[in-house]
């Protein structure tokens, strides 16, 4: 326990399940009550939502399920994602590296993605509400040539039912994002650029495997802002090895002076299989302790508040009105997600799917009109309820009305009665405040939002499952009656 934390009123660590029911007591989901909720509200500090519990479709049945997905019109809000799986080098912290970039690979790959989009032209899946956001991610989409960026975006705009105000994001890195590519992207219809800066500090950048210098990063961002053609957004990471509060403050000061439209602040995740985790395991690098991460988050939030930035999610801030961050929000909260490209993942009506990641296999599937999906998962029973909860928690305010309606319609259960003991304890722990009929996350609550959302949905799943399961006595009665 950190030395500044006080002893707990309630357990923060999992306790033994009931031997008879397997039920975890509500105390397992409580937060620590202490002097510093930013440092020690929960024992884990993961920054990404755990995957939904869903049943995998048997592999031989995947092609049939894939055809069914494409044959059904969409009925809910939608987005689209295009995966460009090439990187010019493997950054130390990244868990998404798949294929090294080769110039001769770009054009054929873009041809294949365009062909995949064209293959849906007569499919019912393109019917339904227009798509609110289109995101080109990776990997490094800006590694593509200017011509390939332009023709890919133009083909996507022509082949997909995009809303008139669709947010079209091109993700990438500063190192290869040259002026001709910038002109090509905006000219083709991109209206949002998202760049992974991570830090401006030269020493930290070199340790992470970033190629561009501080001066090059700043020059590129200044040029992008000067184009005035779309929202310019960057990511910063906190919790990096050797990152001090002073270095973090310098990064924040640089951001607020550049005239950017949006900023994501992400805590470092030590992802299995990454070079960073290997370096940490061998003792070569020592990351910031998780008890210190909340202070970095708080310093970031306070610096942005002083500079007049507005938080629009628990990790994202904007300056002005150009930045909307539609894709990031919709993709986390249950919107349909059409996915294109090798290794891309999507979701339709709550059914998740993953496309083949091997480049040769992907090309073969597209060329032969074969099923490109390698895995499909059916929607989890409480997926809609989870999405309704996450929609509020991501924004920093839990509105109970939609979850209450879904809970009542599906199970007849009173949502507020179910969750009120947990929400009350989180208020005591300094993570929530009651505001009219809403529950607003405090600064500490916003930092711990992922852990809170996970615990809230886990508690609901457990209780709804137990309430719907037959009791032991009921089973005995049915057995006697059947006999």
Write down the domain spans for the chain.
59-332, 382-466
Query: Which 3 state secondary structure label does DSSP give 173?
Result: coil
Phi-psi region of 86 (alpha: psi -120 to 50; beta: other; left: phi over 0): beta
- In terms of residues, how long is the chain? 483
Phi-psi region of 161 (alpha: psi -120 to 50; beta: other; left: phi over 0): beta
For 382-466, CATH number out of 1.20.210.10, 1.10.287.70, 3.60.130.10, 1.10.10.920 equals: 1.10.10.920
Sign of the torsion angle spanned by Cα atoms 176, 309, 259, 187:
positive
Q: What gap in Å lies between CA 152 and CA 141, rounded to an integer?
A: 10
pTM, 2 dp: 0.89
- Residue 210 confidence (pLDDT): 80
Tell how far CA 482 is from the center of its chain. Answer: 50
Asked if 166 contacts 132 with a C-beta cutoff of 8 angstroms, the reply is yes
Tell how far CA 320 is from the center of its chain. Answer: 23
- Tokens matching residue 85: 């799986």
DSSP H helices in 263-382: 275-281, 290-306, 326-332, 359-367
- Residue 111 confidence (pLDDT): 98
- Residue 117 confidence (pLDDT): 98
**What are the 10-residue block averages of pLDDT along the chain, 483 residues in total?**
27 39 88 90 68 81 97 97 83 58 87 98 97 94 96 98 98 91 98 96 86 93 97 95 95 97 90 67 76 94 98 96 96 95 95 96 97 94 93 96 93 94 97 95 97 96 80 42 36
- Residue 472 confidence (pLDDT): 47
**Assigned architecture for domain 59-332:** Alpha-Beta Horseshoe (3.80)
- Residue 481 confidence (pLDDT): 36
- Residue 51 confidence (pLDDT): 56
| CB neighbours of residue 472 within 10 Å | 10
CA-CA distances (angstroms) from residue 258 to 234, 238, 254, 322? 11, 19, 7, 15
Residues contacting residue 375 through CB under 8 Å, at least 6 positions apart: 56, 57, 59, 62, 353, 354
């Amino acid at each position: 326990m950190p030395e500044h934390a006080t002893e707990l009123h309630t357990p923060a660590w999992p306790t033994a399940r009931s031997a008879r029911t397997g039920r975890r007591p509500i105390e397992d989901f409580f937060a620590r009550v202490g002097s510093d909720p930013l440092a020690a509200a929960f024992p884990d500090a993961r920054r990404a939502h755990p995957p939904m519990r869903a049943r995998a479709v048997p592999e031989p049945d995947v092609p049939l399920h894939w055809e069914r997905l494409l044959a059904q019109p969409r009925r809910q809000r939608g987005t689209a994602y295009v995966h460009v799986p090439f990187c010019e080098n493997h950054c130390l912290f990244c868990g998404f590296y798949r294929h090294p970039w080769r110039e001769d690979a770009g054009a054929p790959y873009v041809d294949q993605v365009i062909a995949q989009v064209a293959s849906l032209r007569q499919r019912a899946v393109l019917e339904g509400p227009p798509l609110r956001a289109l995101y080109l991610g990776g990997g490094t989409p800006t590694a593509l040539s200017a011509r390939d960026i332009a023709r890919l975006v133009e083909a996507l705009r022509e082949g997909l039912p995009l809303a008139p105000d669709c947010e079209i994001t091109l993700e990438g890195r500063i190192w290869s994002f040259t002026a001709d590519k910038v002109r090509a992207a905006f000219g083709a219809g991109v209206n949002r650029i998202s760049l992974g800066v991570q830090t401006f500090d030269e020493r930290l950048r070199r340790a992470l495997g970033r190629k561009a210098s501080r001066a090059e990063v700043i020059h590129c961002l200044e040029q992008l802002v000067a184009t005035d053609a779309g929202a310019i957004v960057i990511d910063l990471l906190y919790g990096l090895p050797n990152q001090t509060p002073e270095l973090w403050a310098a990064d924040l000061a640089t951001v607020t002076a550049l005239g950017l439209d949006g900023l994501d602040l992400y805590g470092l995740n030590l992802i299995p299989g990454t070079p960073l985790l290997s370096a940490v395991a061998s003792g070569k690098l020592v990351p910031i302790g998780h008890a210190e991460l909340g202070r970095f988050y708080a310093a970031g939030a306070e610096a942005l508040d002083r500079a007049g930035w507005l938080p629009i999610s628990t990790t994202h801030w904007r300056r002005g009105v150009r930045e909307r961050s539609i894709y990031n929000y919709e993709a986390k909260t249950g919107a349909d997600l059409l996915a294109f490209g090798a290794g891309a993942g999507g979701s339709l009506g709550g059914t998740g799917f993953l496309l083949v990641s091997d480049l040769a296999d992907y090309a073969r599937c597209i060329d032969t009109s074969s099923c490109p999906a390698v895995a499909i998962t059916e929607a989890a029973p409480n997926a809609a309820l989870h999405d309704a909860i996450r929609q509020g928690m991501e924004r920093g305010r839990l509105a109970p009305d939609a979850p209450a309606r879904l809970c009542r319609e599906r199970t007849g259960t009173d949502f507020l009665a179910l969750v009120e003991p947990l929400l009350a304890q989180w208020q005591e722990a300094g993570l929530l405040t009651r505001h009219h009929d809403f529950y607003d996350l405090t600064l500490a609550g916003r930092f711990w939002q992922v852990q809170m959302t996970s615990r809230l949905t886990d508690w609901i799943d457990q209780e709804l499952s137990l309430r719907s399961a037959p009791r032991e006595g009921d089973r005995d009665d049915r057995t006697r009656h059947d006999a």
